[in-house]
Amino acid sequence: MYAISVFNNKGGVGKSTLTLFMADFLATLSVRGRALRVLVMDMDAQGSSAAALLGTDGLERARGSGLGVGRLARDLDLRTAVDTGEFLFKRPRGVPKGRAEPLPEIGVMVSDKASSFAFEVNPLHRLTILRDGLKPELAKRFDVAILDLPGNIDERNLLAVNALIMSDAVVAPVEPSRISINALPDTLEMVRYVRARGAREAPVFLGLVLNRVDKRSQQFQRNLPWIRQMCEQLGVPLFDAVLPNAMALSTATDDRLACDAMRERYGLYYPHVKAVVWEVFRRWRHRQGGEGGEAIGEP
Ligand SMILES: Nc1ncnc2c1ncn2[C@@H]1O[C@H](COP(=O)(O)OP(=O)(O)O)[C@@H](O)[C@H]1O
Ligand SMILES: [Mg+2]
């Protein structure tokens, strides 16, 4: 199972949005004739991506039964008998209307403030429990896990650090503005810290995805050369594909009940979504030395 974190310490840059784009697109693909099994782990107690996938009611029910990832991490660390399956929810397939491509099935794990906090405040909890205790279990059921991280985390957030340590790669959405780019060193520092604590090279930093781009705006045209220069200085790759600023893309984080089909959700902008997700996997395969990953084909 390939685990990828969507992370940027800045809030509101599109982490949950990009998480949902990746999940929606990847779940339409197949590997050796079998649909790719995709899991979204919403690590943010605000629950944007889980609410979009399960509906706000579904999210409240899941939280109400105490089945958040903080509780799961705690149970695993205390070695109480844990049935991982209990903590897994799913977004059912959409109902296809005419020729519209339905929203595919996606596995979901939710966060709740209380259990995340209970895990985080106890310094005795291991930083590697999600990687060592949970990931092998998830690998039996899923091909890809996408982790939607909260913003503004630091070394004290043991659950978020656990999530990053569990990840093979990190991708960071960023807005094409100076304040967003200037906030990057903090995010990169966090990734370096996580590598040291996880005692391995992972997660690999795949790069920055520019989000909310308006190519025609003067501000974007002025900022782009500066952004490229900053990326070079910081040693971070910049994705070729970008996500436009568009109303249709802001619907990603809406409650799923509002629509059942991809085209209802992303409209004409769906090709941009696909281009970004393909680039994530191209960059991952490249980092693996050309091959690696699995041969993924469209269904
Ligand atoms: N490409 C986009 N076009 C238009 N609105 C967007 C786009 N990306 C994100 N948004 C909106 O910006 C807000 C913040 O995005 P979100 O994904 O929740 O960020 P984060 O998870 O980093 O806090 C949301 O209201 C979302 O709908
Ligand atoms: Mg978010």
Q: Which two tokens stand for residue 250?
A: 């802001």
Å from CA of 12 to ligand 2 middle? 7
Query: Hey, whose CA ends up nearest to atom 20 of ligand 1?
Result: 12
* Mean pLDDT, range 11-39, rounded to an integer: 94
Place of tokens 């990828």: 4
Instruction: Say whether pLDDT at 298 is over 70.
Output: no
Å from CA of 294 to ligand 2 middle? 28
Query: Hey, whose CA ends up nearest to atom 13 of ligand 1?
Result: 12
For the chain, the structural domain boundaries read: 2-287
Q: Which pLDDT score is estimated for 287?
A: 82
Q: Which pLDDT score is estimated for 47?
A: 96
The residue to mutate among 10, 17, 213, having the most atoms of ligand 1 within 8 angstroms of its beta carbon, is 17
Cα dist. 256→57, 253, 265, 279 in Å?
11, 8, 9, 26
Q: Which pLDDT score is estimated for 297?
A: 45
Q: What is the pLDDT of residues 64-78, one digit of tens each?
A: 999 999 999 999 999
Residue that wins the pLDDT comparison between 260 and 241: 241
Which residue type is seen at 79? R
The CATH H-level superfamily of 2-287 is P-loop containing nucleotide triphosphate hydrolases (3.40.50.300)
Q: What is the pLDDT of residues 87-105, one digit of tens each?
A: 999 998 888 777 778 889 9
Å from CA of 262 to ligand 2 middle? 20
What's the pTM? Answer: 0.95
Instruction: Say whether pLDDT at 154 is over 70.
Output: yes
Q: What is the pLDDT of residues 234-244, one digit of tens each?
A: 999 999 999 99
* Mean pLDDT, range 269-286, rounded to an integer: 93
Q: Which pLDDT score is estimated for 156?
A: 92
Q: Which pLDDT score is estimated for 260?
A: 78
Å from CA of 15 to ligand 2 middle? 5
Residue that wins the pLDDT comparison between 156 and 290: 156
| Predicted confidence band of residue 256 (pLDDT cuts 50, 70, 90) | low
Residue that wins the pLDDT comparison between 265 and 45: 45
